[in-house]
């Protein structure tokens, strides 16, 4: 069983690459499901099919598509919780319709996408699942949520659950009754599913997170922060796709500077995401849509490779916290103490390494925990740089 999750900054090509990957998997005889949580119903646009809804529909042999509908999911599976939370606001004089809107907590769509995955894996219905996630800044929070809730679920159930706990915060302002038994039972079942889901997401043999970037500063920086978060959360990142690269032989001088700029950014991305598997994807002459164009794109991306393969399984860098000390470890092969330097700029760490063609600079985002810490010590051994921060 494989779960492949695509994320990246908005507009980088997540949906196109998710669909292309799903088609390639199906062509290789993996029974595949692609799931999207985008309210714009992008799967219908990409595949040029209709009626992609809350139940898997067949797109082609071996490939099924599903569009998560959070309202329907909540009504069918968690209606008791929603009604209970909404009643709290309603009793405070809030309009009933508005009460339900507020009770629909942020990120519910993404959470339901993950819960549907847990359902399909539990019932062993597909060989591969491809998830088209939202912009990476949000996606990683939702991926970590099952682990967070799974770990503290038992404690939460000691007094309240995730959703009823949210409602209980308003108890001093309300006269609502004790939490109904059906709400507690729904929450118990939900926490069990989240605990199983957390094990799936952090298992590198099952789950791979793949980052989509364009050769520009904003999407690369966004993906670097996503990589840092994934490493902190224990989610395996195995591939970075650099998308929308202009061909070098464009017969138009207007693109000359763009091509030169992209070339620099591609090199920067390769340095920043080393040793992950990097795939370069060209900018097509027209919009990619429809089965055949997406299949052509899949062949260009993966060639003879099986997309279900785990291309890399390790942490690019890791943070180890011990008391008031935090240590950053990252791979830097062929580097010694005489050919690199490190400087800190706010919440970023700049590492400058001397390579065959000159200095290469990699800027690594630092976690919030380092805000009150100072850069204390830097060591290098066996191709690993260790940076120590202390309060």
How many domains does the structure of the chain reveal?
2
Asked if residue 70 lies in contact with residue 318, where contact means CB atoms within 8 angstroms, the answer is no
Gyration radius of the chain's alpha carbons: 23
354 and 268, same structural domain? no
| Helix, strand, coil % in the chain, rounded to nearest 5 | 45, 25, 30
262 and 208, same structural domain? yes
280 and 252, same structural domain? yes
| φ/ψ of residue 362, rounded to 5 | -120, 125
pLDDT higher for 308 or 350?
Answer: 308
Percent of the chain with pLDDT over 70: 74
227 and 187, same structural domain? yes
Nearest to 271 by CA among 377, 380, 354: 354
297 and 366, same structural domain? no
Report pLDDT digits (tens) over 271-298.
Answer: 889 889 999 999 999 999 999 999 999 9
154 and 288, same structural domain? yes
Instruction: Note down the domain range covering 367.
Output: 317-390
What's the order of all strands across the beta sheet hosting 32-36? 57-60, 63-67, 32-36, 128-135, 2-8, 207-213, 237-245, 277-282
Q: Return the DSSP state at 254.
A: G
CATH of the domain at 273: 3.40.50.300
221 and 157, same structural domain? yes
What's the order of all strands across the beta sheet hosting 317-322? 317-322, 325-331, 384-390, 374-381
Note the residue count of the chain: 391
What mean pLDDT do residues 52-57 have?
91
pLDDT confidence bin for 108, thresholds 50/70/90: low
Q: Domain ends where: 246, 274, 302? A: 302
Distance CA 276, CA 183 (A): 44
For residue 147, what pLDDT is reported?
59
Report pLDDT digits (tens) over 170-227.
Answer: 444 444 456 677 766 776 777 778 778 888 988 999 999 999 999 999 999 889 888 8
Percent of the chain with pLDDT over 90: 40
211 and 360, same structural domain? no
Q: 19 to each of 15, 55, 244, 282, 293, how far by Cα in Å? A: 6, 17, 16, 16, 11
What mean pLDDT do residues 96-104 have?
54
């Amino acid at each position: 069983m494989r779960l492949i999750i695509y994320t990246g900054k908005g507009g980088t090509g997540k949906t196109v690459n998710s669909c292309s990957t799903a088609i390639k998997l199906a062509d290789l005889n993996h029974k595949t499901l692609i799931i999207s949580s985008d309210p714009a119903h992008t799967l219908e646009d990409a595949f040029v099919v209709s009626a992609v809804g809350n139940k898997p529909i067949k797109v082609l042999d071996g490939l099924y598509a599903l569009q998560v509908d959070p309202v329907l999911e909540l009504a069918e599976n968690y209606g008791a919780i929603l009604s209970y939370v909404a009643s709290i606001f309603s009793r405070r004089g809030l309009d009933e319709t508005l009460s339900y809107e507020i009770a629909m907590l942020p990120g519910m769509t993404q959470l339901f996408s993950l819960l549907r995955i847990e359902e399909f894996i539990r019932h062993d219905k597909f060989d591969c699942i491809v998830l088209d996630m939202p912009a990476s800044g949000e996606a990683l929070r939702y991926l970590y949520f099952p682990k967070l809730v799974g770990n503290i679920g038992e404690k939460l159930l000691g007094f309240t659950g995730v959703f009823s706990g949210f409602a209980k915060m308003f108890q001093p302002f309300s006269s609502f009754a004790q939490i109904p038994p059906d709400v507690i039972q729904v929450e118990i079942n939900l926490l069990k599913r989240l605990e199983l889901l957390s094990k799936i997401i952090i298992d590198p043999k099952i789950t791979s997170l793949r980052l989509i970037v364009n050769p520009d500063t904003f999407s690369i920086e966004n993906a670097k922060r996503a990589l840092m978060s994934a490493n902190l959360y224990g989610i395996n990142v195995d591939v970075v796709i650099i998308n929308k690269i202009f061909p070098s032989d464009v017969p138009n001088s207007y693109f000359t500077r763009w091509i030169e700029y992209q070339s620099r950014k591609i090199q920067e991305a390769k340095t920043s995401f080393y040793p992950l598997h990097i795939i370069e994807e060209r900018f097509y002459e027209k919009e990619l849509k429809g089965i055949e164009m997406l299949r052509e794109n899949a062949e260009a991306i993966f060639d003879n490779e099986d997309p279900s393969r785990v291309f890399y399984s390790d942490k690019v860098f890791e943070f180890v916290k011990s008391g008031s000390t935090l240590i950053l470890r990252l791979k830097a092969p062929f580097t010694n103490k005489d050919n690199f330097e490190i400087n800190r700029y706010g919440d970023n760490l700049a590492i400058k390494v001397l390579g065959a063609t000159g200095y290469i600079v990699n800027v690594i985002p630092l976690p919030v925990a380092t805000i009150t810490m100072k850069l204390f010590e830097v060591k290098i051994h066996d191709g690993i740089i260790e940076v120590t921060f202390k309060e």
